[in-house]
């Protein structure tokens, strides 16, 4: 799969639209490290709320070569259609509809994975949104409401009939949230009965796992979520393994430092001094969690309230790591 509708994508490895994670800076760093497509954080279909700072930032377009995909969420077909039209008008290349989020705040509004309970509403939403725009509409779902009520196959049939151009399936039900292991049987079954591209999602955290999921499900691509936090180069590692059968090593300490510094500087620019420092803490913890003396470093790093101080601490940390490696050698 090299296209979504008329749009070219470099590979079939997608970054998941994770709330609070998949912002403009993170989408850009993942694209630079091999993600073929990145999707915005979930945006409410209530356009009256789009002018607040949080939702304005969600609509920021990353500087990537891949299509600009905006994910919208809600339960009202008319509001979702209007949201899709407004995003098309502001430059979106494709619209993704969220029917997979298991967060309680989303479920209270009967949106996200709550929609999987009502197949008539699913059909109404998809039909309405597809007809309202000229750009491709894609969909993200879970395998069903609960392990006893896996209706992902039915939803997939509806999606294809309504004109959805690509379907991503997370291998858990709403009830499972992120607990337990993802199952791929439902994804494999959906692939067998549909003609549209199917993207497998859930627990894909290594090149070997990526290959086994693709082989088992016969999916057209993969979506990577939590495994990319603190490890955006996982896309290049997976791509290399799928294309050559050889494992690509993690970046050396010098390259890791460059990637992390670049990402944190981008965060600082995007959010500004105060909030940039806050968001940088979360991503720094993801990057350094498996590195030596990271706990001690993060205690110091998280006390910093200025971006320059954060970057100075990061530089000092890596200088110490380089010194330790030199001594060990």
Select which of 101, 162, 176, 308 is catalytic.
Answer: 101
Q: How many CB atoms lie within 10 A of CB 107?
A: 15
Classify residue 182 as left (phi > 0), alpha (psi -120 to 50) or beta: beta
> Cα separation of 138 and 118, whole Å?
19
> Cα separation of 325 and 329, whole Å?
6
> Cα separation of 115 and 51, whole Å?
26
What does each C-alpha distance from 280 to 57, 120, 169, 298, 316 come to in angstroms?
16, 43, 30, 11, 16
Query: Taking the alpha carbons of 57, 60, 66, 67 in that order, is the dihedral positive or negative?
Result: positive
101 is catalytic: yes
Residues annotated as part of the active site: 101
């Amino acid at each position: 799969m090299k296209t979504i509708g008329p749009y070219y994508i470099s590979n079939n490895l997608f970054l998941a639209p994770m709330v609070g994670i998949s912002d403009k800076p993170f989408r850009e760093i993942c694209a630079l490290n091999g993600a073929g497509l990145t999707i915005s954080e979930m945006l409410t279909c209530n356009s009256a709320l789009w002018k607040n700072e949080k939702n304005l930032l969600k609509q920021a377009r990353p500087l990537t070569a891949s299509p600009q995909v905006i994910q919208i969420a809600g339960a009202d077909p008319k509001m979702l259609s209007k949201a899709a039209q407004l995003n098309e008008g502001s430059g979106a290349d494709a619209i993704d509809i969220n029917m997979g989020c298991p967060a309680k705040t989303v479920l209270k509004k009967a949106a996200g994975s709550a929609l999987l309970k009502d197949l008539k509403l699913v059909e109404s939403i998809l039909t309405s949104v597809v007809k309202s725009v000229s750009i491709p509409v894609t969909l993200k779902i879970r395998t069903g409401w609960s392990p006893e009520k896996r209706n992902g196959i039915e939803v997939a049939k509806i999606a294809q009939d309504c004109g959805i151009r690509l379907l991503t399936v997370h291998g858990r039900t709403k009830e499972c949230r992120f607990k337990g292991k993802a199952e791929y049987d439902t994804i494999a079954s959906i692939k067998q009965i549909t003609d549209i591209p199917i993207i497998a999602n859930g627990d894909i955290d290594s090149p070997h796992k990526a290959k086994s999921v693709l082989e088992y499900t016969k999916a057209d691509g993969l979506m990577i979520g939590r495994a990319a936090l603190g490890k955006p180069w996982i896309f290049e590692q997976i791509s290399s393994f799928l294309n050559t059968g050889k494992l690509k090593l993690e970046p050396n300490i010098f390259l890791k430092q460059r990637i992390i510094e670049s990402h944190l500087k981008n965060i600082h620019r995007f959010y500004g001094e105060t909030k940039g420092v806050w968001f940088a803490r979360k991503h720094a913890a993801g990057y350094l969690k498996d590195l030596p003396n990271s706990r001690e470093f993060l205690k110091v790093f998280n006390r910093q309230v200025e971006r320059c101080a954060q970057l100075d601490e990061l530089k000092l940390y890596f200088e110490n790591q380089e010194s330790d490696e030199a001594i060990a050698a």
